[in-house]
Structure 1
Amino acid sequence: MAKRNVQHIGDDQLVYGLPKHMVGSPSQKNAKRENSPGSRDSPDKPDTQVFWTVHPKDKACDACKAMEGIKFAEEPERPHPNCKCEIRRHEHTPGKRRLGGFIKGYDGNAVEQFFGLGLVRVTIRHVTGALGSGVHVYSNLDGVRQGHTLGKEVVFTFGALTDTPILWNIHIVQKGADNTLVKYEIEYEQ
């Protein structure tokens, strides 16, 4: 009977430059990632986006500290074999958000600042006062729109070519009589 030569790999030994407990077959890792709930390929949550962040320990090396605060689309590789920093998986479901309020009086104004994707919709509704009041809506990314609330409601749409959240500044100025009250609503995706 022939004797097999089997090499024992202890817990303190390295495989492919990593500690033994950190090494798995690539096919196992991909199977887990593809079938996990919330992944982009998962049929139950098609709009969920996944990203990863690195959280270095107190005495982490410079390479690990440089990765802090960055959102990665895929799970990042550890920069060295004995890295003990935490890598967290996050899920983000884009959704519509709304801001709103009231503007009263001649030259009344409102300023809203938020992070959103590339399309913003501003709706102005006449509440009370002179029907012929006008509004000017300014955007830091897509210029100026103006209109009148004669039909009780006016809608302005602003756009910017981006697939990542950007900072929007929306400034609304009412041009109506002192007793005029308008309501504004800003709808955007985050």
Structure 2
Amino acid sequence: MISRAAGLSQMPAHEVLSDTRQTMLEPAARALLAVTPRPNAQQALVLSYGARRRLEGLAVMGWSIREIARRANVQDMTVKRPRSAPRVQWRVHTLIADVYEELSHIRRDNTRTVLWAEANGFVHPMLWDDIDDYYEVPVEPVDSKIPDEIVIQRLADGRAVDRASKAERAAAVQILTDRGLSSAAIAERMRVSQRQVVRDRGMAVAS
């Protein structure tokens, strides 16, 4: 993998790793030093982190493994593999990347998958600047604390919202509570866990 990414034969990398060579040609050294973990089309296998991040981002948006596999026209296991394997075929990386490009901005009404993603702390697709940058650490945007009435209404109506602040969720929970809905009914409508509804209700009361 290292050699293919560098565009070299395997010998220079082997010699460096085995400490059998103390010097090498400068172009070969530069090529090896330029290699990053980023998936490379020249490699037969690539690191799986890029595919795994994409699968987790799609889960945040409500897309299950089965739905992704169906879109990619492959078996479920092909799509599942990057979640546990350290390396995957370049073909698998690209087919998952293609589905991600198509669906990562579309909310899917799959509450079970959304709750699974929330419980595991998966990263929303919009928080990645460069999802293939191995060293990137996504940061949650600063909450402006200014609720958007349109977002609140969409949440209360049970419609999909890509991003909602704590204040907006709390306001929507308060609206639905005032209408007499139970925590379970609110959770189902807003596609969140009941625990989240309880937290948001407490925030609404505090404010």
Please tell me whether Structure 1 or Structure 2 has the larger radius of gyration of its CA atoms: 1
Q: Which has the higher contact order (CA 8 A, sep 6+)?
A: 1
TM > 0.5: no
Bigger fraction of residues in strand: 1
